[in-house]
Amino acid sequence: SIFSTSRHVMLRISALVALLAVCHGAKEDERDCEVCKAVIDTIDKLVTDAERKDVEKIEKKMFQWCATSKGKDKTMCYYIGVGDAESGTAGGVKRDISGSLARGINAKRLCTRMKKKDAQMCELRYEKKIDVKNTDLKKLRVKELRKIADDEGIDVKGLVEKDEFIKKIQTHFGIKVEL
Protein backbone atom coordinates (compact mmCIF):
# COMPACT_ATOMS: atom_id res chain seq x y z
CA SER A 1 0.00 0.00 0.00
CA ILE A 2 0.97 3.66 -0.30
CA PHE A 3 1.46 4.16 3.46
CA SER A 4 3.93 1.29 3.85
CA THR A 5 5.97 2.48 0.84
CA SER A 6 6.13 6.08 2.04
CA ARG A 7 7.02 4.90 5.55
CA HIS A 8 9.79 2.75 4.05
CA VAL A 9 11.15 5.76 2.11
CA MET A 10 10.99 7.98 5.22
CA LEU A 11 12.85 5.33 7.20
CA ARG A 12 15.62 5.22 4.59
CA ILE A 13 15.89 9.02 4.50
CA SER A 14 16.11 9.27 8.29
CA ALA A 15 18.80 6.55 8.34
CA LEU A 16 20.78 8.46 5.71
CA VAL A 17 20.48 11.72 7.67
CA ALA A 18 21.65 9.96 10.85
CA LEU A 19 24.63 8.46 8.99
CA LEU A 20 25.61 11.86 7.58
CA ALA A 21 25.35 13.43 11.04
CA VAL A 22 27.69 10.79 12.49
CA CYS A 23 30.21 11.22 9.66
CA HIS A 24 30.12 15.01 9.93
CA GLY A 25 30.54 14.93 13.71
CA ALA A 26 33.52 12.57 13.48
CA LYS A 27 35.90 15.38 12.49
CA GLU A 28 38.37 15.84 15.31
CA ASP A 29 39.42 19.30 16.38
CA GLU A 30 43.22 19.41 16.59
CA ARG A 31 42.94 21.86 19.49
CA ASP A 32 40.84 19.35 21.45
CA CYS A 33 42.80 18.26 24.54
CA GLU A 34 45.85 20.22 23.33
CA VAL A 35 47.10 21.13 26.81
CA CYS A 36 46.53 17.59 28.12
CA LYS A 37 48.41 16.07 25.17
CA ALA A 38 51.29 18.54 25.46
CA VAL A 39 51.73 18.09 29.23
CA ILE A 40 51.51 14.30 29.21
CA ASP A 41 53.73 14.04 26.13
CA THR A 42 56.36 16.24 27.81
CA ILE A 43 56.27 14.19 31.01
CA ASP A 44 56.39 10.98 28.95
CA LYS A 45 59.58 12.17 27.21
CA LEU A 46 61.22 12.96 30.57
CA VAL A 47 60.66 9.44 31.93
CA THR A 48 63.55 7.03 31.27
CA ASP A 49 63.06 3.35 30.44
CA ALA A 50 64.24 2.35 33.92
CA GLU A 51 61.80 4.75 35.60
CA ARG A 52 58.95 3.58 33.38
CA LYS A 53 58.76 0.30 35.32
CA ASP A 54 57.74 2.04 38.57
CA VAL A 55 54.62 4.24 38.74
CA GLU A 56 55.93 6.10 41.79
CA LYS A 57 59.05 7.16 39.89
CA ILE A 58 56.84 8.37 37.03
CA GLU A 59 54.76 10.35 39.54
CA LYS A 60 57.97 11.86 40.95
CA LYS A 61 58.85 13.07 37.44
CA MET A 62 55.33 14.48 37.14
CA PHE A 63 55.80 16.43 40.40
CA GLN A 64 59.22 17.71 39.29
CA TRP A 65 57.94 18.93 35.93
CA CYS A 66 54.75 20.43 37.36
CA ALA A 67 56.71 22.33 40.01
CA THR A 68 58.30 24.46 37.27
CA SER A 69 55.30 24.71 34.94
CA LYS A 70 53.30 27.90 34.40
CA GLY A 71 49.99 29.03 32.92
CA LYS A 72 47.75 26.42 31.32
CA ASP A 73 50.32 23.68 31.98
CA LYS A 74 50.12 24.47 35.71
CA THR A 75 46.31 24.28 35.54
CA MET A 76 46.58 20.91 33.81
CA CYS A 77 48.86 19.67 36.60
CA TYR A 78 46.18 20.76 39.07
CA TYR A 79 43.55 18.74 37.17
CA ILE A 80 45.83 15.70 37.03
CA GLY A 81 46.31 15.81 40.78
CA VAL A 82 49.91 16.96 40.85
CA GLY A 83 49.40 20.44 42.28
CA ASP A 84 51.75 22.35 44.51
CA ALA A 85 51.38 22.99 48.23
CA GLU A 86 49.67 26.34 47.64
CA SER A 87 46.98 25.41 45.11
CA GLY A 88 46.44 21.76 46.04
CA THR A 89 44.89 19.38 43.52
CA ALA A 90 41.55 18.87 41.80
CA GLY A 91 41.42 15.15 41.37
CA GLY A 92 43.06 11.82 41.58
CA VAL A 93 43.84 10.73 38.05
CA LYS A 94 47.57 10.91 38.77
CA ARG A 95 47.81 7.13 39.35
CA ASP A 96 45.76 6.40 36.20
CA ILE A 97 48.14 8.53 34.14
CA SER A 98 51.33 7.14 35.68
CA GLY A 99 50.04 3.57 35.24
CA SER A 100 49.14 4.24 31.60
CA LEU A 101 52.54 5.81 30.91
CA ALA A 102 54.17 2.75 32.51
CA ARG A 103 52.26 0.57 30.04
CA GLY A 104 53.37 2.75 27.13
CA ILE A 105 50.05 4.38 26.22
CA ASN A 106 50.60 7.58 24.22
CA ALA A 107 49.39 11.04 25.24
CA LYS A 108 46.61 11.32 22.64
CA ARG A 109 44.97 8.06 23.63
CA LEU A 110 45.46 8.75 27.33
CA CYS A 111 43.83 12.19 27.09
CA THR A 112 40.89 10.72 25.19
CA ARG A 113 40.41 8.28 28.07
CA MET A 114 40.75 11.04 30.65
CA LYS A 115 38.15 13.11 28.79
CA LYS A 116 35.55 10.48 29.69
CA LYS A 117 36.45 10.75 33.39
CA ASP A 118 36.94 14.51 33.60
CA ALA A 119 35.84 16.62 30.63
CA GLN A 120 37.48 19.80 31.91
CA MET A 121 40.91 18.30 31.18
CA CYS A 122 40.18 18.53 27.46
CA GLU A 123 38.45 21.90 27.62
CA LEU A 124 41.74 23.53 28.61
CA ARG A 125 43.38 25.25 25.62
CA TYR A 126 46.41 27.40 24.98
CA GLU A 127 45.77 30.99 24.00
CA LYS A 128 46.38 31.70 20.34
CA LYS A 129 49.66 33.48 19.70
CA ILE A 130 49.37 36.68 17.71
CA ASP A 131 51.91 37.14 14.90
CA VAL A 132 52.71 40.79 15.58
CA LYS A 133 54.64 41.49 12.37
CA ASN A 134 51.84 40.21 10.10
CA THR A 135 48.87 41.56 12.06
CA ASP A 136 47.19 44.94 11.70
CA LEU A 137 47.59 46.18 15.27
CA LYS A 138 44.89 48.82 14.77
CA LYS A 139 42.29 46.05 14.47
CA LEU A 140 43.22 44.52 17.83
CA ARG A 141 41.60 45.49 21.11
CA VAL A 142 43.55 47.21 23.87
CA LYS A 143 43.26 44.01 25.94
CA GLU A 144 45.02 42.06 23.17
CA LEU A 145 47.66 44.76 22.77
CA ARG A 146 48.25 44.71 26.53
CA LYS A 147 48.67 40.91 26.37
CA ILE A 148 51.27 41.22 23.59
CA ALA A 149 53.12 43.80 25.67
CA ASP A 150 53.00 41.60 28.79
CA ASP A 151 54.23 38.54 26.86
CA GLU A 152 57.15 40.50 25.44
CA GLY A 153 58.02 42.29 28.67
CA ILE A 154 57.20 45.74 27.29
CA ASP A 155 56.64 48.37 30.00
CA VAL A 156 53.13 49.79 29.56
CA LYS A 157 52.86 51.91 32.72
CA GLY A 158 51.16 55.20 31.99
CA LEU A 159 49.82 54.09 28.60
CA VAL A 160 46.12 54.74 28.18
CA GLU A 161 45.29 55.24 24.52
CA LYS A 162 45.26 52.45 21.96
CA ASP A 163 47.66 54.39 19.70
CA GLU A 164 50.19 54.59 22.55
CA PHE A 165 50.15 50.79 22.92
CA ILE A 166 50.53 50.34 19.16
CA LYS A 167 53.52 52.75 18.96
CA LYS A 168 55.24 51.05 21.90
CA ILE A 169 54.77 47.56 20.37
CA GLN A 170 55.89 48.75 16.93
CA THR A 171 59.10 50.26 18.32
CA HIS A 172 59.80 47.09 20.33
CA PHE A 173 59.47 44.86 17.26
CA GLY A 174 61.09 47.34 14.88
CA ILE A 175 57.99 47.65 12.72
CA LYS A 176 58.06 50.68 10.45
CA VAL A 177 54.98 52.85 10.75
CA GLU A 178 53.11 53.30 7.47
CA LEU A 179 51.60 56.72 6.89
Question: Where are the chain's structural domains?
Answer: 34-123, 132-173
CA dist., res. 178 & res. 101, Å (int):
53
pLDDT number for residue 26: 43
pLDDT number for residue 163: 93
Residues of the chain with pLDDT under 50: 25-27
Q: Please compute, for residue 133, the number of CA atoms within 13 A of its CA located in the half-sphere on the CB side.
A: 4
pLDDT number for residue 19: 63
**DSSP string of the chain, one letter each residue:** -HHHHHHHHHHHHHHHHHHHHHHHHTPPPTTTTHHHHHHHHHHHHHS-TTGGG-HHHHHHHHHHHHHH--HHHHHHHHHHT---TTT--S---HHHHHHHHHTT--HHHHHHHHHHH-THHHH--PPPPP-GGGS-GGGS-HHHHHHHHHHHT---TT--SHHHHHHHHHHHHTPPPP-
Highest CATH level, class, for 34-123:
mainly alpha
pTM of whole model > 0.75? no
pLDDT tens across 57-66, in order?
999 999 999 9
